[in-house]
């Protein structure tokens, strides 16, 4: 994979929600391309990292002052910021919690929007401010979802007594809006695109998997690492004429 995107070598790439499920896959692919990967997460890192091009910063991206300070620290250490991947989000797995719209807790609304939308806004604000004055500008990739394009089909959760929460759709739709705004606010200096991935197999129940695959023309959820090539493409010069776009990678689910 690394030979396909040689221009990524030595690029400084920030990944928020850096200790999460998708981020770990993106990180592996970026490391393979010899990028300097800068993980940002609110969690404590559990094991030591021996890779010379993998870095970690703890930060609550919902806090303006913390993100402002983080941007200064990263700028001082790395000088240039090539790519920001806004990946941090809440994505609850189907559980015993119903998430009914009629009884949805306003505190959960605030928390989910803070992490996904406010966090992406603050990181875009501070790192984009740095990117816009860099000689080579910068590149932002936002992680939305196929449910940022369509509504969740609540029927697939009915048998397990669950509903996809309203905040997931609202935040993922909002991420696409932020993408288009950013791409046109800093034209020529900062490219900004989003991807809308479908679901990925990650230990879901057979009952759920059997229901959801009926909605997908390819008949399955994504396999691990199937989104990586798109991330590498958008981070590289191969996508130099793409900005303001939302690229769907969902096995065809939004095509029905």
Q: Is 26 part of any domain?
A: yes
Question: Is the residue at 113 inside a domain?
Answer: yes
Condensed to tens digits (0 to 9), the pLDDT of residues 158-168 reads 888 899 999 99
* Position 255 in a domain: no
CB distance 256 to 215 below 8 Å? yes
Q: Does 152 fall in a domain?
A: yes
User: Is residue 106 in a domain?
Assistant: yes
Q: Which of 115, 128, 148, 118 is nearest to 17 (CA)?
A: 115
* 201-255 pLDDT, tens digit each: 998 889 989 999 999 999 999 999 999 999 999 999 999 999 999 999 999 999 9
The verdict on residue 188 lying in a domain is yes
Q: Write the CATH number for 183.
A: 3.40.50.720
- What pLDDT is stored for residue 118 in this prediction? 98
Q: Name the β-bridge partners of 163.
A: none
State how far the Cα of 29 lies from the Cα of 11, in Å rounded to an integer.
13
pTM for this prediction: 0.96
In a domain, 253, yes or no: no
Residue 39 near residue 54, CB atoms below 8 Å: yes
Phi, psi torsion values for 4, nearest 5 degrees? -75, -25
Tell whether 22 is covered by a domain: yes
Q: Structural domain of residue 220, as residue ranges?
A: 2-248
Contact (Cβ atoms closer than 8 angstroms) between residue 232 and residue 176: no
Number of domains in the chain: 1
């Amino acid at each position: 994979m690394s030979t396909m995107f040689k221009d990524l070598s030595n690029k400084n790439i920030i990944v928020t929600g850096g200790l999460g499920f998708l981020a770990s896959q993106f990180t592996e692919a970026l490391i393979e391309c010899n990028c300097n990967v800068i993980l940002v997460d609110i969690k404590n890192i559990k094991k030591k990292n021996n890779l010379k091009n993998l870095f970690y910063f703890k930060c609550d991206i919902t806090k303006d002052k913390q993100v402002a300070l983080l941007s200064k620290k990263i700028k001082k250490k790395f000088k240039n910021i090539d790519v920001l991947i806004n990946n941090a989000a809440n994505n609850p797995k189907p559980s015993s919690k119903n998430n009914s719209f009629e009884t949805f807790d306003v505190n959960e609304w605030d928390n989910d929007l803070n992490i996904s939308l406010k966090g992406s806004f603050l990181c875009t604000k501070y790192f984009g401010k740095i990117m816009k004055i860099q000689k080579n500008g910068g590149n932002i990739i936002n992680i939305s979802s196929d449910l940022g394009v369509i509504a969740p089909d609540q029927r697939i959760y009915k048998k397990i007594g669950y509903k996809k929460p309203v905040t997931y759709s609202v935040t993922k739709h909002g991420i696409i809006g932020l993408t288009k705004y950013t791409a046109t606010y800093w034209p020529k200096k900062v490219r900004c695109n989003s991807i809308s991935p479908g679901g990925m197999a990650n230990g879901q129940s057979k009952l759920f998997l059997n229901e959801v695959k009926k909605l997908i023309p390819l008949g399955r959820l994504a396999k691990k690492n199937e989104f990586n090539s798109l991330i590498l493409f958008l981070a590289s010069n191969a996508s130099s004429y793409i900005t303001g776009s939302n690229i769907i990678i969902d096995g065809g689910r939004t095509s029905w």
